Homo-oligomer: A and B are copies of this chain.
Amino acid sequence: MTVRPTLAVVGATGAVGTVLLRLLSQRADIWGDIRLIASPRSAGRKLAVRGEEVEVVALSEAAFDGVDIALFDVPDEVAAQWAPVAVARGAVVVDNSGAFRREPDVPLVVPEVNPYAARRRPRGIVASPNCTTLSMIVALGALHAEFGLRDLVASSYQAVSGAGRAGVETLRRQLSLVAGTELGTGPGDVRRAVGDDTGPFPEPVALNVVPWAGTPCDDGWSSEEMKVREETRRVLGLPRLPVAVTCVRVPVVTVHSVTVHARFENEVTVDRAREILATAPGVVLCDDPAAGEFPTPADVVGTDPTWVGRLRRALDDPTALELFVCGDNLRKGSALNTAQIAELVAGEPV
């Protein structure tokens, strides 16, 4: 790999891509060229990165010539088709989609938890977990390293930007229709006001919560819930970990929150858990409810770490901890994690 590797951002115009360009402008600059790639619809647009305007090029084989590392922030099917093309042209691919996360020969990496896994990538691809897993996994990983995780129950409060630009536009449009009204008090009144166009969501999301994300899997589970289960197991290296998750969309623009009930191998103490979380890289402990301190999306948005609050030991089980965790789904939940993986790969001894 060259001293200053060439980076490609595939999907530079999307919700994740936009935040990634901002991050690349803020983080230590280790890159040579940064090439911006999107669909032909966006070719020719100019986007700012590292203080310069860079022209977006359309996705093609040639777009990967000379690229050392390619970050993919595009829909699953686009990544499935094009990541192998980028690898064939000599790039290492860091993929943010769901296309490769379940492949045994593609490592699934969270640099704070399993950085070593990025080294072994027989297909030249490293995958990054989905944003709901990433919202909690750094905090969970730190607790697991000390206490040994035995069982996980979690419920999510997922932001609309998890569904990309279309999700954000849908919430903003619906909010404009319901704000300043008395809506939200009669059956179906919100639905009638926002109309049939619910965007990427199956129900109106303004003044509502929607207990569904993704596509239907077996036995009533959603694909989002299955992803959180499988990816948490893979990243923590606990292939049999019992995981029960319910994924729910809420009218928040950015930042996923998760309530976590985690049982460990042995008795835990809140004092020791606080020490672990207060010193874990990538985690901020924000937990003094009597003083009004707990994380909320409104405060966490735009920040890098996983924020943890509401830390308690279960009253009836000395082996269980409760947490409320917030993470910016466009930062640690996607763009930041892939940027960190790219830096890991770029920093490998030649």
Contacts and interface: CB of A to CB of B under 8 A. Distances in A.
Nearest to A215: B290
A169 B126 CA distance: 49
Contact of A176 (B180, B203, B316): B180
Contact of A204 (B153, B244, B246, B298): B298
A151 B151 CA distance: 14
Given A187-B301, A191-B298, A298-B190, A222 B289 contact: yes
Interface stretch (A59-67, A69-77, A306-314): A306-314
A294 B212 contact: yes
A157 interface: yes
Contact of A289 (B188, B216, B289, B322): B216
So how many copies of this chain end up in the complex? 2
Interface in A303-350: 303, 309-317, 320, 322, 324
Interface in A270-291: 270, 287, 289-290
A16 to B, nearest CB: 13
A319 to B, nearest CB: 12
Contacts of A257: 209, 211, 248
Given A220-B312, A246-B324, A248-B324, A185 B298 contact: no
Interface residues of A, number: 76
A154 to B, nearest CB: 8
B248 A259 contact: yes
Contacts of A298: 184, 188-191, 203-204, 207-208
Interface string A50-92: 0000000000000000000000000000000000000000000
Contact of A216 (B191, B253, B290): B290
A176 to B, nearest CB: 5
A320 B216 CA distance: 20
Contacts of A212: 289, 294, 310
A106 to B, nearest CB: 23
A221 interface: yes
Nearest to A310: B211
Nearest to A184: B253
Contacts of A250: 157, 209, 250-251
B207 A252 contact: yes
15 contacts: A157-B209, A157-B250, A172-B180, A186-B301, A203-B298, A207-B253, A208-B297, A209-B257, A211-B324, A216-B289, A216-B290, A219-B312, A229-B315, A250-B250, A250-B251
Interface of A: 151, 153, 155, 157, 172, 175-176, 178-180, 183-191, 202-204, 207-212, 216, 219-222, 229, 240-244, 246, 248, 250-254, 257, 259, 261, 270, 287, 289-290, 292, 294-303, 309-317, 320, 322, 324
Given A175-B178, A175-B180, A211-B257, 9 more contacts: A157-B209, A157-B248, A176-B180, A188-B299, A210-B296, A211-B294, A220-B310, A220-B311, A244-B261
